């Protein structure tokens, strides 16, 4: 067992401190070369500098305000999901979500998000809360797959014509996304059946108690989670569109909607293994897809960077401060128990 722990730690260090930064450097260099070769780069840069000195700076403020809306919606989703095991107020739920973000930026595909959130749950309820949190994540993934599938249908000809992918691979991807969407949606609305099926597996039987709470989900709550996920998705798109206007990226509303939806699909499918790899991949995907409609690659890259910083890094910093306060509370409670009079 100690050997396994050491191996896992070494593997994690290799991913986070070697492979992750290496991929980030490669992606960043690729993005830099693409921007450097952009026609009219100096003119684009001048337009962007003028934008920050003009009345259009309100667009950036609006994006930051929408970040609060975005995470507030996610808070309502999580609060709605975990009320099966524990009722919590909005402020506590918001703190949990922010703490989850701070954990997520340091883990592959943000799986650490669940650990950060359950810190705010009572002992004995934390493991059950993880399965409920996953349900909320599945609702967001369903919306991402749905919008990504539609964007594939809308942008298919443009993507193939650009040489990004062959028609054969495009058909494979579109059928794969459709199959994944159908299966995930069926499982989502048949959670009780899924729990009973897992219950029958001898290997999983001893863990079935963790999934018992999923049987209490009714269609109304599941639809509410799905609706909130759809609204949150729309908030993301609006943020992108406002930044497109700020950074002089000349795309229409629908071009931006479908290109960003497709980029979300790509980001959901391709695993990211480190914080900065996520940024590099996000920038590269945005350049490829939005580059179909706009030649302002500098503006596209700055949009991707701004979204990453505003939606992820700012909440992660807030969440890390909250985690420090949680640790202090836990430490104080532990000290109180040690100092209690046994009599």
Q: Model confidence over 263-311: pLDDT tens digits?
A: 999 988 876 655 566 777 788 888 889 989 988 888 888 888 889 888 9
Q: Is 163 left (phi over 0), alpha (psi -120 to 50) or beta?
A: left
Provide the residue ranges of all domains of the chain, joining segments of one domain with +: 2-35+52-323
What tens digit of pLDDT does each residue of 177-190 get?
A: 999 999 999 888 87
Band of residue 1 on the pLDDT scale cut at 50, 70, 90: very low
Q: Is 60 left (phi over 0), alpha (psi -120 to 50) or beta?
A: alpha
> ∠204-207-209 over CA atoms, to 5°?
130
Band of residue 247 on the pLDDT scale cut at 50, 70, 90: confident
Residues 145 and 184 sit within 8 Å (Cβ to Cβ): yes
Judged against a pLDDT cut of 60, whether residue 35 lies above it is answered with no
Instruction: Provide the pLDDT for residue 289.
Output: 92
Using alpha carbons, select from 282, 238, 232 the residue that is nearest to residue 23.
282
Write the CB contacts of 249 (distance below 8 Å, at least 6 apart in sequence).
Answer: 243, 290, 294, 296, 299, 300, 303
Residues 84 and 136 sit within 8 Å (Cβ to Cβ): no
* C-alpha span between 128 and 113 (Å, rounded): 15
Any idea how long the chain is?
343
Read off the pTM.
Answer: 0.80
Structure tokens belonging to residue 275: 């914080």
Mean residue pLDDT of the chain comes to: 78
* C-alpha span between 201 and 205 (Å, rounded): 6
Q: Greater confidence, 25 or 132?
A: 132
Instruction: Provide the pLDDT for residue 231.
Output: 97
Beta strands in the chain (DSSP E): none
Instruction: Provide the pLDDT for residue 185.
Output: 92
Instruction: Provide the pLDDT for residue 341.
Output: 46
Write the CB contacts of 152 (distance below 8 Å, at least 6 apart in sequence).
Answer: 159, 170, 173, 174, 177, 262, 265
Average pLDDT over every residue of 230-247: 95
Band of residue 152 on the pLDDT scale cut at 50, 70, 90: very high
Average pLDDT over every residue of 152-170: 91
Highest mean pLDDT among 91-100, 104-113, 227-236, 262-271: 227-236
Sign of CA dihedral 56, 240, 106, 15: negative
Band of residue 2 on the pLDDT scale cut at 50, 70, 90: very low
Which whole-number Å values give the CA distances from 88 to 98, 104, 316, in the listed order?
Answer: 15, 22, 21
Using alpha carbons, select from 255, 224, 285 the residue that is nearest to residue 34.
285
Using alpha carbons, select from 192, 94, 177, 118 the residue that is nearest to residue 143.
177
Band of residue 103 on the pLDDT scale cut at 50, 70, 90: confident
Structure-token match 């830099």, residue found:
32
Judged against a pLDDT cut of 80, whether residue 194 lies above it is answered with no
The DSSP letter of residue 313 is I
Residues 144 and 264 sit within 8 Å (Cβ to Cβ): yes
Q: Is 275 left (phi over 0), alpha (psi -120 to 50) or beta?
A: alpha
Q: Greater confidence, 204 or 130?
A: 130
Band of residue 199 on the pLDDT scale cut at 50, 70, 90: low
């Amino acid at each position: 067992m100690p050997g396994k722990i050491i191996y896992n730690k070494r593997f994690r260090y290799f991913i986070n401190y070697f492979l992750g930064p290496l991929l980030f450097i490669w992606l960043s260099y690729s993005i830099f070369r693409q921007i450097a070769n952009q026609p009219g780069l100096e003119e684009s840069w001048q337009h962007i500098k003028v934008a920050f000195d003009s009345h259009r700076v309100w667009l950036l403020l609006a994006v930051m305000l929408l970040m609060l809306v975005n995470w507030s919606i996610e808070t309502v989703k999580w609060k709605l999901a975990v009320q099966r095991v524990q009722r919590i107020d909005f402020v506590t739920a918001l703190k949990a979500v922010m703490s989850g973000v701070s954990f997520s930026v340091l883990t592959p595909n943000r799986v650490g998000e669940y650990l950060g959130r359950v810190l705010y749950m009572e002992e004995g309820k934390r493991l059950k809360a993880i399965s409920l949190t996953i349900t909320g994540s599945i609702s967001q993934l369903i919306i991402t797959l749905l919008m990504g599938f539609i964007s594939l249908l809308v942008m298919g000809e443009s993507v193939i014509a650009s040489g990004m992918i062959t028609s054969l691979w495009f058909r494979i991807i579109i059928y794969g996304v459709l199959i994944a969407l159908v299966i995930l949606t069926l499982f989502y609305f048949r959670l009780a059946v899924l729990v009973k099926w897992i219950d029958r597996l001898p290997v999983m039987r001893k863990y079935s108690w963790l999934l018992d709470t999923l049987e209490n989900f009714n269609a109304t709550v599941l639809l509410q989670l799905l609706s909130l996920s759809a609204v949150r998705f729309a908030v993301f798109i609006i943020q992108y569109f406002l930044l497109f206007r700020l950074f002089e990226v000349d795309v229409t509303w629908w071009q931006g909607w479908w290109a960003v939806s497709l980029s979300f699909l790509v980001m959901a499918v391709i695993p990211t293994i480190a914080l900065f790899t996520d940024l590099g991949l996000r920038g590269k995907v945005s350049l490829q897809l939005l580059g179909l409609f706009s030649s302002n690659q500098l503006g596209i890259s700055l949009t991707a960077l701004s979204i990453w910083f505003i939606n992820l890094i700012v909440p992660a910093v807030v969440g890390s401060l909250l985690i420090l306060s949680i640790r202090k509370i836990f430490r104080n409670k532990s000290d109180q128990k040690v100092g209690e009079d046994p009599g």
